[in-house]
Amino acid sequence: MTRTDNHNMIVRAFALAWRYRMSYEKHGDLEYVIKFEQTSWRSLYRYLNLAYMLPEKVNNILSGKEPRSIAEIFAIAPKHQI
């Protein structure tokens, strides 16, 4: 995988995470998000953990100041922020 491919995957992961977060915050119901997004509990929590990362950390990752793989991103995301 090239650096560009990895970066694109990371950007898509954050975009999906923020979409899930916006839906959750709007409706306040995780089951609604799962049904609407047609995803699993595991995926929802995994992406929501990304959505609640510190903004400084996200900016550093997306700007390339803190290069990470997609696997590392999911591993360093805070757990159970909801």
- In this prediction, residue 35 carries a pLDDT of 96
Q: Mean pLDDT throughout 47-62?
A: 92
Please check whether residue 82 lies inside any domain of the structure. Answer: no
- The whole-number pLDDT of residue 37 equals 95
Report the pLDDT value the prediction gives residue 82, as an integer from 0 to 100: 62
Residue 6's Cβ-count burial label (10 Å; 0-12, 13-18, 19+) is: middle
For the chain, how many structural domains are there in total?
A: 1
Instruction: Provide the domain limits for residue 41.
Output: 3-76
Digit-coded pLDDT (tens) for 24-38: 999 999 999 999 999
Specify if 81 maps to a domain.
no
